[in-house]
Structure 1
């Protein structure tokens, strides 16, 4: 099972593929000031839930970038099923290889996929170039709740790139240094994390039952992964959607 297949398997039941909720994503889009006539770019759009939700509410032109073939196919299928193909275009492939015209989008989003653009700060630079001056940036990103990480964090976790050495405030300040003053913040709760991971566990169990004896079943049900979910995510590492204006001091 390659990485694409792994995520397609454990996120088979996800509609929203991050530790957040419909209400919180709606609030983020309110902070972005989405309205009719806008051009919107979503980096790492997954199954396209957020773009489809926006396209049902507003007369927009939206582009979604997605590298996972299974997610891109589902996004295209659902877009067509909901008669939104005139408003949403799904581009399959590495986001870093997509070259938008500079300052061509009113809203540029990357909700939990900065890795697709080389990491947190490279993503800020890429998104800033794609967004109009004064346009909206929405970035879903992890941050450290407590620094330094406490001793009970399992050995090696501090070196894991999933566990950043940026506090919430440092994340906001870094965005400001890139010309992106914060306009709104929506933080994931413990319940958001548990809802997100519960769907992973559900999918892993179902896949193992459907594929008895498969060697990948052990990977999907590894208790070390669940321990990390329960002891670290949402307790020592947070996640939030940061909404900012682009190109402002």
Structure 2
């Protein structure tokens, strides 16, 4: 069980596998008013940066689940590095359908809503692990501006314009699902740069170290095209945020 190899290569040096930066996760943790001992579940946790830093800074305990064997191992190393391995654990598994044995205070899926077939399905999945009155966190892209054509949407790595909503529509959709939006922290273009541009140096170093690898042609092709694609499409059209939801009374 693992994610496609290209992601394990391109994002192998990432601590955060989405357009958030460390200061954004710090802002989010503070905004949620996390209490020591709060229990957090993170589905699709990547390399565990959110759980590890919140364990260090707020005293939370929690569990992260991710399909990447590499990222799961990096998460364990990060927990050891920050001295919080006794507070958080990381499971190498498919997060789709994962339900915690013990109800949690915060149930999160920060940038992997495909595990539930989209935002609505992921919220339903997270709600199964949540205690009454708890908070759901969903990280999701949205259109900063609507792409003028389907080709532009595909340049943003969407299948179609209909894959994502404008921010007001996304916010309105949470109410339609029966949830109050109680907080949000949005990424910015610098966050997109840190997420996307950091891959380029990683891929270049990987190519230098693996000149005869059978996968090198795919990495080379991506490095040839990704910088221009990012600045032309993703950076201009894509937004991304983490939205905190509570079920309506």
Q: Same fold (TM over 0.5)?
A: yes
Residue 226 of structure 1 corresponds to 227
CA–CA separation in structure 1 for the residues paired with 2:42 and 2:79: 14
Could you say what the CA RMSD is over the residues aligned between the two structures, in angstroms?
2.4
Structure 2 Cα separation of the partners of residues 169 and 181 of structure 1 = 14
Cα distance, 1:200 vs structure 2: 0.4
Question: SS at the partner of 2:53?
Answer: helix
Alpha carbons of structure 1 residues 234 and 137: separation in structure 2 relative to 1, 3 Å: farther
8 Å Cα contact 1:51-1:88 kept in structure 2? yes
Q: How many residues align?
A: 245
Structure 2 contact 110–140 (Cα < 8 Å) conserved? yes
1:184 aligned counterpart, secondary structure: strand
Distance 1:12 1:18 in 2: 13
Q: Residue in 2 aligned with 1:190?
A: 189
User: In the alignment, which residue of structure 2 is the partner of 1:65?
Assistant: 65
- Cα distance per residue 1:155-192 (max 9 Å; x no partner): 85589348623111111111122222112222221111
C-alpha change, 1:158 and 1:69, in structure 2 (3 Å) is: closer
SS of the aligned residue for 2:142 comes to: strand
Give runs of ≥4 in structure 1 deviating > 6 Å.
Answer: none
Change (3 A) 1:162 1:26: farther
Change over 3 Å in CA distance of 1:175–1:221 after alignment to 2: farther
Unpaired segments ≥5 residues, structure 2: none
**1:153 Cα offset (Å):** 4.1
Q: Deviations over 1:92-148 (max 9, x none)?
A: 11012422248x11111111111223222211111223222321222111012223x
Shift of 1:66: 0.9
State the distance in 1 between where 2:124 and 2:25 align: 23
Secondary structure of the structure 2 residue equivalent to 1:238: strand
Q: Distance in 2 between matches of 1:165 and 1:16?
A: 22
- Please state if 1:21 is matched with 2:1: no
Summarize the Cα distance change of 1:30–1:208 in structure 2 as closer, same or farther, 3 Å threshold. Answer: same
| Superposed counterparts of 1:1-249, under 5 Å | 3-101=3-101, 104-147=103-146, 149-151=147-149, 153-154=151-152, 156-157=154-155, 160-161=158-159, 164-222=163-221, 223-244=224-245, 246-249=246-249
Secondary structure of the structure 2 residue equivalent to 1:18: coil
Unpaired runs of 5+ in structure 1?
Answer: none
Counterpart secondary structure, 2:90: strand
Conservation of the 8 A alpha-carbon contact between 1:32 and 1:107: no
